[in-house]
């Protein structure tokens, strides 16, 4: 197996991924070598963090959590040298985020157009989408602040799961160039606190 890994590394460079999981008690990291449909773990590390870093599934000490993540990742990268003969540092990362750290917010915003006979321009559509994005971000901040019991909290976008833009209640192939009275933006976004995203 070791010889096979070394031969993979000597040819075209396969993909290297760092996989990081910040758990309630410890941070865990893997370095994974991916070649086509095959994958091999070539490094692993774990580091316990301060007991107050995560409380009730919520990040409370970002510095402690970030340090634990960094140490676990350094351990995993150092182990690659033992396994394949070279210290390898991944250029891509997959980060696991637990459910309590995430906030999903869905929004539907309908805008009545003052001149429905005019074709919808790219700039008009982008202005409507930006307005919806600002509203969904505000909703996410409010919801996360209530959950954390503080107004001084910021959130960052983790994933924009869906964007649909019906015109007069119907999905159209291309909104730009369409006409209609009402443009609706339906967003489904996932957020996490900036402190948590910075830690991982």
Q: What is the pLDDT of residues 11-68, one digit of tens each?
A: 556 789 999 988 778 889 999 988 888 888 999 999 988 777 776 666 777 788 888 8
CATH 3.30.420.40 maps onto the chain at 2-96
Q: Which CATH architecture has domain 102-199?
A: 2-Layer Sandwich (3.30)
Averaged pLDDT for residues 60-89 = 86
Enter the pTM of the model: 0.59
Question: What rounded mean pLDDT belongs to the chain?
Answer: 83
Residues paired with residue 34 on neighbouring β-strands, in sequence order: 15, 39
Token pair 């954390």 is found at 148
CB 18 within 8 A of CB 73: yes
Whether the per-residue pLDDT at 89 is higher than 80: the answer is yes
CB 159 within 8 A of CB 100: no
Per-residue pLDDT tens for 105-143?
A: 888 999 999 999 999 999 999 999 999 999 988 888 888
Q: Where are the beta strands (DSSP E) in 23-172?
A: 26-35, 38-48, 54-55, 58-59, 92-96, 102-112, 155-164
Q: Determine the pLDDT at residue 180.
A: 94
CATH 3.30.1490 maps onto the chain at 102-199
Residues paired with residue 19 on neighbouring β-strands, in sequence order: 30, 94
Residue 100 has a CB neighbour count (10 Å cut-off) of: 13
Q: Cα–Cα–Cα angle for 153, 148, 130, nearest 5°?
A: 45
Q: Cα–Cα–Cα angle for 8, 95, 1, nearest 5°?
A: 25
C-alpha to C-alpha distance for 116 and 87, rounded to whole angstroms: 62
2-96 fold: Nucleotidyltransferase; domain 5 (3.30.420)
In this prediction, residue 200 has a pLDDT band, given cuts at 50, 70 and 90, of low
Which letter does DSSP use for residue 61 in this model? -
Tokens coding 43: 């490094």
């Amino acid at each position: 197996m070791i010889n096979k890994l070394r031969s993979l590394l000597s040819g075209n460079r396969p993909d290297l991924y760092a996989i990081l999981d910040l758990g309630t008690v410890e941070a865990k990291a893997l370095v994974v070598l991916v070649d086509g449909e095959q994958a091999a773990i070539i490094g692993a590390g774990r580091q316990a963090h301060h007991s107050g870093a995560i409380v009730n599934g919520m990040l409370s000490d970002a510095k402690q959590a970030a340090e634990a993540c960094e140490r676990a990742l350094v351990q995993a990268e150092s182990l690659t040298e033992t396994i394949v003969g070279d210290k390898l540092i991944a250029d891509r990362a997959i980060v696991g985020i637990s459910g309590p750290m995430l906030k999903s917010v869905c929004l539907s915003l309908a805008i009545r157009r003052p001149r429905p006979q005019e074709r919808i321009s790219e700039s008009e559509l982008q202005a409507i989408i930006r307005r919806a994005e600002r509203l969904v971000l505000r909703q996410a901040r409010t919801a996360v602040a209530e959950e954390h019991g503080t107004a001084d909290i910021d959130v960052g976008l983790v994933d924009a799961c869906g964007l649909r833009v019906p015109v007069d209640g119907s999905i159209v192939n291309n909104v730009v160039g369409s006409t209609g009275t009402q443009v609706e933006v339906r967003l489904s976004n996932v957020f996490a606190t900036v402190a948590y995203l910075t830690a991982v």
